Amino acid sequence: MEILQFKLTNVGRFSNIELPLAPTDEKKSKVTVLVGNNGAGKTFLLKSLATSLSWFVARVRSEKGNGSPIQEDDIKNGQNAAAIKISLKHNAYLHRWIIAKTRTGRKNEQSSQLNDATKLAEHFRSELSKDEQTSLPLIVFYPVERVVLDIPLKIRDKHSFQQLDGYDNALNQGVDFRRFFEWFREREDAENETGIPIEAVEKLYKSFINDPKALLGLQEMHALMRDRQLSAVRAAISAFMPGFSNLRVRRKPRLYMSVDKHGESLNVGQLSQGEKSLMALVGDIARRLAMMNPSLENPLHGDGIILIDEVDLHLHPKWQRTLIARLTSTFPNCQFILTTHSPLVISDSKDVLCYLLDDGEISVVDDLYGLDANSVLLQVMDTDIRNVDVDMRLRALLNTIQDGELDKAKDLLAELSKDLPENNIELIKARLLLRKQELRHAQDR
């Protein structure tokens, strides 16, 4: 399932905008990134998509389900009504729906039209009725407030986790380590207690019925004994966090979740903020995909739409740089709509559709691939790459050198040398340039 485009009318600061999302004819990846200043409207765009998609999700869960309405505060100030239109593609069919909201006491200008959302949801419900192993599309929104990372020591109830539970809190809360932990423990218990997960038993049985002589090889049987869903989550975490492996629930001396980091076994609670938040994000996506695609050989190849606000949150630059590549290779069939403040996230990804939001206007940013972070800061994020004062003094210094005012240049250089470290690259360059100019002047005399 893929969002083709969406249109906002009088939502937040936007009067009327229409955004196609990747993949498009020009940008083949499934990733759209929104950048822009604080208050530019990035979160509003994601929130609007989540609001719109929530109606489809609610109606997959139950026939007459209701998604979230547009909040009255989110109608553009001074306007009577707001609307979000979305068009999506699923199996080559086009679906469009509108969710609208009019201020109380005002005349209704536009009403919601949700027929297509209902029909699309009905399609999945009837598939699910025919075959309980049917895959469902993942739809999830990770807002900035997603960093709820406490891992509970006790688990309250036993849950049963089915495909539909993959939509639990998917559009209103985001990462929930508690659920992750509960789910993980539940699957592990099943894996440990019965030895063989139920799907594996079924597969074994079927192969035996088809051909009684051809019992599965020992190795294949062993692979089947490992829970495919847990393996998928572990694989996703290792793909994002090299050096981390063997995520598991420990039961002694008390219940906790542990992971090996470069061979050392750690309580997940002991990890750094960045490590925890990446693990929670990736683990949550993988867990949901695993739940929603019970019959896929590799559940990480499940279909879905994933919205992440400030995807660089807490991440080290090294991880920021490779984030999009890892997302797209680990979850190849998911469409991503991301926001970021980090030049590193967008400078290292080919074929990503990047929108710059500025004062309610939106433009496409072209060809970021291969640009260094400074150029992205300068060209896209409209930010000085260094402190403004230092920048002015450096420029003045270079100008005086070029103009041959060497005594003045020496003074400026001496002043700057007091404030900047000895190995500052710009100072070193300026010194070399000054030296060259001095030599040239000496020859000319």
Ligand X SMILES: Nc1ncnc2c1ncn2[C@@H]1O[C@H](COP(=O)(O)OP(=O)(O)OP(=O)(O)O)[C@@H](O)[C@H]1O
Question: Footprint of ligand X on this chain (CB under 6 A)?
Answer: 12-13, 36, 38-44, 73-77
Query: Residue 41 binds which one of Mg ion, ligand X, none, with CB within 5 to 8 A depending on kind?
Result: ligand X
Query: Residue 393 binds which one of Mg ion, ligand X, none, with CB within 5 to 8 A depending on kind?
Result: none
| Pairing mode of beta strands 2-11, 81-90 | antiparallel
Minimum gap (Å) between residue 354 Cβ and Mg ion: 16
Q: Which is nearer to ligand X, 13 or 326 (CB)?
A: 13
309: alpha, beta or left? (left if phi > 0; alpha if psi -120 to 50):
beta
- The rounded distance, in Å, linking the Cα atoms of 7 and 169 is 25
Query: Residue 20 binds which one of ligand X, Mg ion, none, with CB within 5 to 8 A depending on kind?
Result: none
Q: Which is nearer to Mg ion, 43 or 238 (CB)?
A: 43
Q: Which is nearer to ligand X, 338 or 427 (CB)?
A: 338
Binding to Mg ion by residue 37, rule CB under 5 A?
Answer: no
- The rounded distance, in Å, linking the Cα atoms of 224 and 228 is 8
Q: Which is nearer to ligand X, 37 or 298 (CB)?
A: 37
Minimum gap (Å) between residue 93 Cβ and Mg ion: 33
DSSP helix/strand/coil, 100: strand
Please state the length of the chain: 445
DSSP helix/strand/coil, 79: coil
Query: Residue 179 binds which one of ligand X, Mg ion, none, with CB within 5 to 8 A depending on kind?
Result: none
E strand or H helix at 3: strand 2-11
Minimum gap (Å) between residue 46 Cβ and Mg ion: 8
Q: Which is nearer to ligand X, 78 or 421 (CB)?
A: 78
How large is the angle between the packed helices 406-419 and 425-444, nearest 10 degrees? 160
Q: Which is nearer to ligand X, 38 or 423 (CB)?
A: 38
Minimum gap (Å) between residue 383 Cβ and ligand X: 13
Would you say 376 and 392 are in contact if contact means Cβ atoms under 8 Å apart? no
Binding to Mg ion by residue 258, rule CB under 5 A?
Answer: no
Would you say 74 and 11 are in contact if contact means Cβ atoms under 8 Å apart? yes
Would you say 262 and 253 are in contact if contact means Cβ atoms under 8 Å apart? no
Query: Residue 12 binds which one of Mg ion, ligand X, none, with CB within 5 to 8 A depending on kind?
Result: ligand X
- The rounded distance, in Å, linking the Cα atoms of 362 and 130 is 44
DSSP helix/strand/coil, 45: helix
How large is the angle between the packed helices 388-402 and 406-419, nearest 10 degrees? 150
Query: Residue 294 binds which one of Mg ion, ligand X, none, with CB within 5 to 8 A depending on kind?
Result: none
User: Both tokens of residue 231?
Assistant: 């393996």
User: Both tokens of residue 176?
Assistant: 């929930």
Q: Which is nearer to ligand X, 54 or 330 (CB)?
A: 54
Minimum gap (Å) between residue 114 Cβ and ligand X: 23
Long-range contacts of 72-75 (CB under 8 A, 24+ apart): 72/101, 72/103, 72/104, 74/11, 74/12, 74/44, 74/47, 74/101, 75/10, 75/11, 75/101, 75/103
Minimum gap (Å) between residue 306 Cβ and Mg ion: 17
Binding to Mg ion by residue 245, rule CB under 5 A?
Answer: no
Would you say 420 and 427 are in contact if contact means Cβ atoms under 8 Å apart? yes
Residues 39 to 68 in contact with Mg ion, rule: CB under 5 A: 43
Minimum gap (Å) between residue 40 Cβ and Mg ion: 8
Minimum gap (Å) between residue 120 Cβ and ligand X: 27
Query: Residue 302 binds which one of ligand X, Mg ion, none, with CB within 5 to 8 A depending on kind?
Result: none
Binding to Mg ion by residue 417, rule CB under 5 A?
Answer: no
Minimum gap (Å) between residue 77 Cβ and ligand X: 4
User: Both tokens of residue 30?
Assistant: 């499934």
Query: Residue 131 binds which one of ligand X, Mg ion, none, with CB within 5 to 8 A depending on kind?
Result: none
Q: Which is nearer to ligand X, 77 or 160 (CB)?
A: 77
Q: Which is nearer to Mg ion, 43 or 417 (CB)?
A: 43
Residues in touch with Mg ion (CB under 5 A): 43
